[in-house]
Chains A and B, each alone.
Chain A
Amino acid sequence: MKWIGGFSRVRWWSIVLKEFTQLKRDRLTFAMIVGIPIMQTALFGYAINTNPKHLDTAIVSADDTGITRSFIAALQNSSYFKVVATLPSEAAGREALAQGKVLFVINIPAGFTRQLLRHERPSLLIEADATDPTATGSALAAVSGIAQSVVQREITGPLASLASSPPPFDVRIHQLYNPDNITQYFVVPGLTGMVLTLTMVLMTGLAITRERERGTMENLLAMPVTPLEVMTGKLIPYIGIGLIQATIILLAARYVFQVPFFGNIGAVYLSALLFIAANLTVGITFSSLARNQLQAVQLGIFFFLPNIMLSGFMFPFKGMPGWAQAIGNLLPLTYFLRLIRGILLKGNGWADSWPNVWPMMVFTVLLMFVASITYRKTLD
Chain B
Amino acid sequence: MTAPANAEFAIDVRGLNKHYGEKHVVRDVSLRVRRGEIFGFLGPNGSGKTTTIRMVCGLLKPDSGSGTCLGYDIVRERAEIKRNVGYMTQRFSYWDDLSIIENLDFVARMYEIRDRKAAVRRALETLGLASRGRQLAGSLSGGWKQRMALAACMLHEPSLLLLDEPTAGVDPRARRDFWDELQSLAAQGISVLVSTHYMDEAVRCHKLAYIAYGKLLAQGTAAEVVASQHLTTWAIYGGHLSELQDELRRKPGVEQTVTFGDVLHVSGTDAALLGRTVATAASSSGRRAEPVETGLEDVFIYLMGKTQDNGGGAA
Q: Which residues of A contact B (CB under 8 A)?
A: 214-216, 218-225, 380
Closest to A222 in B: B87
Q: B93 contacts A215, CB within 8 Å? A: yes
Task: Say yes or no for B7: interface residue by CB 8 A criterion.
Answer: no
Shortest distance in angstroms between A222's beta carbon and chain B's nearest beta carbon?
4
CA distance A219 to B107 in the complex (A): 10
Q: B89 contacts A224, CB within 8 Å? A: no
Task: Assess A222 versus B61: contact at CB under 8 Å? Given A214-B93, A215-B91, A215-B92.
Answer: no
Q: B83 contacts A224, CB within 8 Å? A: yes
Q: B82 contacts A218, CB within 8 Å? A: no
Number of interface residues of B (CB under 8 A): 20
Task: Say yes or no for B198: interface residue by CB 8 A criterion.
Answer: no
Known: A219-B87, A223-B111. 4 other contacts (CB 8 A): A219-B89, A219-B93, A220-B110, A221-B59
CA distance A214 to B138 in the complex (A): 11
Task: Assess A216 versus B61: contact at CB under 8 Å? Given A222-B82, A224-B79.
Answer: no
Contact digits for B89-112, partner A, Cβ 8 Å, 1 yes 0 no: 101111110000000000100111
CA distance A220 to B89 in the complex (A): 11
Q: B92 contacts A224, CB within 8 Å? A: no
CA distance A223 to B152 in the complex (A): 11
Contact of A218 among B79, B85, B89 (CB under 8 A): B89
Task: Say yes or no for B281: interface residue by CB 8 A criterion.
Answer: no
Q: B82 contacts A216, CB within 8 Å? A: no
Task: Assess A223 versus B82: contact at CB under 8 Å? Given A218-B59, A380-B60, A380-B61.
Answer: yes
Q: A219 contacts B83, CB within 8 Å? A: no
Q: A222 contacts B89, CB within 8 Å? A: yes
Shortest distance in angstroms between B154's beta carbon and chain A's nearest beta carbon?
13
Task: Say yes or no for B57: interface residue by CB 8 A criterion.
Answer: yes
Which of chain B's residues have a CB closer than 8 A to the CB of A215? 89, 91-93
Q: B61 contacts A223, CB within 8 Å? A: no
Closest to A226 in B: B79
Q: B93 contacts A216, CB within 8 Å? A: yes
Which of chain B's residues have a CB closer than 8 A to the CB of A224? 79, 82-83, 110-112
Contact of A223 among B60, B92, B107 (CB under 8 A): B107
Shortest distance in angstroms between B98's beta carbon and chain A's nearest beta carbon?
10
Shortest distance in angstroms between B76's beta carbon and chain A's nearest beta carbon?
16
Nearest 3 Cβ contacts at the A-B interface? A219-B93, A222-B87, A215-B93
Which of chain B's residues have a CB closer than 8 A to the CB of A220? 110
Closest to B138 in A: A214
Shortest distance in angstroms between A375's beta carbon and chain B's nearest beta carbon?
15
Which of chain B's residues have a CB closer than 8 A to the CB of A380? 60-61
CA distance A215 to B83 in the complex (A): 20
Which of chain A's residues have a CB closer than 8 A to the CB of B61? 380
Which of chain B's residues have a CB closer than 8 A to the CB of A219? 87, 89, 93-94
CA distance A219 to B87 in the complex (A): 8
CA distance A223 to B83 in the complex (A): 7
Q: A214 contacts B96, CB within 8 Å? A: yes
CA distance A195 to B82 in the complex (A): 40
CA distance A225 to B111 in the complex (A): 8
Closest to B53 in A: A222
Closest to B152 in A: A219
Q: A222 contacts B57, CB within 8 Å? A: yes
Q: A216 contacts B59, CB within 8 Å? A: no
CA distance A30 to B59 in the complex (A): 34
Point out which of B79, B82, B107, B112 has the most chain A C-beta atoms below 10 A from its C-beta. B82
Closest to B111 in A: A224
CA distance A303 to B9 in the complex (A): 53
Q: A223 contacts B59, CB within 8 Å? A: no
Q: B93 contacts A218, CB within 8 Å? A: yes
CA distance A216 to B89 in the complex (A): 9
Shortest distance in angstroms between A303's beta carbon and chain B's nearest beta carbon?
27
Which of chain A's residues have a CB closer than 8 A to the CB of B83? 224
Selected A-B contacts with CB under 8 Å, 14 pairs: A214-B93, A215-B89, A215-B92, A216-B95, A219-B89, A219-B93, A221-B59, A222-B59, A223-B82, A223-B111, A224-B83, A225-B110, A380-B60, A380-B61
Which of chain A's residues have a CB closer than 8 A to the CB of B60? 380
Which of chain B's residues have a CB closer than 8 A to the CB of A223? 82, 107, 110-111
Shortest distance in angstroms between A33's beta carbon and chain B's nearest beta carbon?
28
| Chain B 21-51 residues near chain A, CB threshold 8 A | none
Shortest distance in angstroms between A377's beta carbon and chain B's nearest beta carbon?
13
Q: B110 contacts A216, CB within 8 Å? A: no
CA distance A263 to B218 in the complex (A): 75
Which of chain B's residues have a CB closer than 8 A to the CB of A214? 93, 95-96
CA distance A294 to B92 in the complex (A): 21
CA distance A224 to B79 in the complex (A): 6
| Chain B 95-137 residues near chain A, CB threshold 8 A | 95-96, 107, 110-112
Which of chain B's residues have a CB closer than 8 A to the CB of A216? 93-95
Shortest distance in angstroms between B265's beta carbon and chain A's nearest beta carbon?
38
Closest to B82 in A: A224
Which of chain A's residues have a CB closer than 8 A to the CB of B112? 224
CA distance A221 to B112 in the complex (A): 15
